[in-house]
């Protein structure tokens, strides 16, 4: 399986459990690895045959920017579902972090991996 990746997509969103966090937007950072097959795109040198990381980034900027999750775990799960369901990929790894959320730490975060089977409701 090939992987397309996107690193450190910065999005301002309402995130957090504290009352003050519900009133302001904070920056979250998102890293993605998305399973795909790029052989056809590479063979034909064709953008139409590959997953557009620009489309992925644009979708997440809108989705995450409008979100209001308390936990980064919930945000990561929601991002994974969007990628799996809307871009019809076989696998995704999502990392979401909050810079400077803990004093003395550069960032804290979570990484999850999901497949379409995880969303068979």
Each residue's pLDDT tens digit, 51-107? 999 999 999 999 999 999 999 999 999 999 999 999 999 999 999 999 878 888 889
Domain boundaries, the chain: 2-119
Q: What is the pLDDT of residue 109?
A: 96
Rounded to whole angstroms, what are the CA distances from 18 to 11, 15, 71, 81, 103?
A: 19, 9, 11, 26, 16
Cα–Cα dist 82/77, whole Å: 9
**What local confidence, expressed as pLDDT, does residue 121 receive?**
77
Percent of the chain with pLDDT over 90: 87
Q: What is the mean pLDDT of the chain?
A: 95
**Catalytic residue positions, numbered:** 98
78/119 Cα distance (integer angstroms):
11
Instruction: Supply the CATH classification number for the domain 2-119.
Output: 3.30.1130.10
What pTM does this model have?
0.94
């Amino acid at each position: 399986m090939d992987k397309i990746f996107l690193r450190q997509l910065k999005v301002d969103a309402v995130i957090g459990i504290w009352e003050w966090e519900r009133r302001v937007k904070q920056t979250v950072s998102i890293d993605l690895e998305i399973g795909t097959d790029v052989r056809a795109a590479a063979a034909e040198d064709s953008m139409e045959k590959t997953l557009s990381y620009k489309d992925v980034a644009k979708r997440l900027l809108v989705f995450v920017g409008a979100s209001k999750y308390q936990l980064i775990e919930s945000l990561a799960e929601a991002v994974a579902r969007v990628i799996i369901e809307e871009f019809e990929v076989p696998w995704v790894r999502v990392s979401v972090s909050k810079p400077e959320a803990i004093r003395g730490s550069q960032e804290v975060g979570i990484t999850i991996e999901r497949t379409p089977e995880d969303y068979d409701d």
